[in-house]
Amino acid sequence: MILRHLLLPEILDLVESGRLNDVREFLAQQPGPDIADLIPALEDKDQVIVFRLLPRHLADEVFSLLEPTSQNLLLQSMAQEEVRQVLAGLSPDDRTALFEELPAQVTKGLLGLLSDQDRKQTLTLLSYPENSVGRLMTDRYVTVDPQWTASRALEHLRQVGTDSETIAMVYSIDEHGRLTDDLRLRKLIIADPAVRVADLLDGHYACLHSLQDREDAVQVFKKYDLYALPVVDADGILLGIVTIDDILDVAEAEATEDFHKLATVRPLQVNFKDATLGLLFRKRIGWLIGLVIVNIFTGMGIKMFEDTIVAVAALVALMPLLIGSGGNAGAQAATLVVRAIATGEIDSGDWWKLLLREIGVSMAIGLAMAGAAFFLGWALGDLKVAAVVSISMVTVVVMGSLMGTVLPMILNRLKLDPATASVPLITSMADILGVLIYFSIANALFAYFNAAMR
């Protein structure tokens, strides 16, 4: 961030005055991540100019660090031979990430530019389901033979390591290609050079399955505190590895998706900053229109009580308070449960306990809020209105909270995404319930007061 602001004016100045050789020299001195940070901040045409000026190895690094949106822009402006070079320089997992963001037509064209081996591998990786662990894999890992000595294994690493994504972990496989163990590089380094690799292995290893949801992978990485995890198929065959830097990106992307879903924004797929007006419209309008329809029931509910409303207009003034409070308490409950499910903190075994606790919490909250609402009802209406409002408040808050707790659990049980129990959905459902509860209690209490006065 800081560096972007430092580099930007300098580069722009040089580019505009046409001193491209100076730009070239200047850029060659900068670390790749800083250049990758800078490029999206430039005008489209300058992005291409700056990228072209990078020396080969730096260009490969910078390209792999860019977002797919910027990558696509650069690819479009490149000659075929350049595209071929850039694609060949990408690691398998970065290539998958780029291809899955591009339109099918573009992907098809780009695949033709890959070497036979790379094309086959890319197609294999893209054949794994979206959001599966398989899509994150790279085959750039190192395997060692248990019969080797530690020094022979290190010598092997020295020869093949340059090309691998990480050498923090190396793996042993059997003659069928099945994973048999993992080994931290540090153990290999620290070991007596003459010791056999087999003696360093402990038979314990953690691994991911290629078809597993990538969200699960985040939890496995958290549990084992490893930098890389091997990925196997149903037969235990080692297919590739996933590295923790990609998992950090996945954790952030999955959290962002949940944030958006909780606010009824469908997953954007691109950066918020890069989203077009049309895309934002499409991702936001669906649920909003759906919730309009839910509001038909709220409206019908209110219509049923039109006589009460005309008789005691002060009740209307307090209606937003009541239905709002039910929605707010429900939003809290839903968010707590949705997030706890996403981070793996709770599973279905805990549900009854959580539900009981929520009944207690929401009763306490409802009572406290009823106290506040009583005075508000008195101020805007009279003591009778105050009584109606405070009794309704407890009921509405408890009902809203339970709905917020139960709905994500049910969705999860049905194998649907718990985050679909969005705050606006809970709020809208609390509206319907709130209106019915509020005016029913009002009707009943006013009938009672009137009878008592006769």
Helices and strands (H and E) in the chain: how many: 21, 5
Q: Please state the closest distance from residue 420 (CB atom) to a second copy, in A.
A: 15
Looking at the Cβ atoms of 83 and 346, the one nearer to a second copy is: 346
Q: Please state the closest distance from residue 18 (CB atom) to a second copy, in A.
A: 26
**DSSP per-residue string spanning 166-188:** --SEEEEE-TTSBEEEEEEHHHH
Looking at the Cβ atoms of 114 and 400, the one nearer to a second copy is: 400
Using DSSP bridges, classify how beta strands 208-209 and 228-232 pair: parallel, antiparallel or unpaired. parallel
Q: Please state the closest distance from residue 427 (CB atom) to a second copy, in A.
A: 7
Looking at the Cβ atoms of 83 and 384, the one nearer to a second copy is: 384
Looking at the Cβ atoms of 114 and 228, the one nearer to a second copy is: 228
Q: Residue 242 has which token pair?
A: 């996933």
Is residue 443 helix, strand or coil?
A: helix
Looking at the Cβ atoms of 364 and 383, the one nearer to a second copy is: 364
8 A C-beta contact, residue 146 and residue 203: no
How far is Cα 452 from Cα 454, in angstroms, rounded to an integer?
6
Alpha-carbon dihedral sign for residues 221, 227, 233, 236: negative
Residue 335 identity: T
Looking at the Cβ atoms of 117 and 162, the one nearer to a second copy is: 162
8 A C-beta contact, residue 150 and residue 200: yes
**DSSP per-residue string spanning 222-277:** HHHT-SEEEEE-TT-BEEEEEEHHHHHHHHHHHHHHHHHHHTTPPP-SS-TTT--H
Q: Provide φ and ψ at 358, rounded to 5°.
A: -65, -35
Q: Please state the closest distance from residue 242 (CB atom) to a second copy, in A.
A: 13
Q: Please state the closest distance from residue 334 (CB atom) to a second copy, in A.
A: 7
Q: Please state the closest distance from residue 175 (CB atom) to a second copy, in A.
A: 25
Looking at the Cβ atoms of 79 and 293, the one nearer to a second copy is: 293
Q: Please state the closest distance from residue 404 (CB atom) to a second copy, in A.
A: 9
Closest CA to 89 of 62, 50, 60, 114: 60
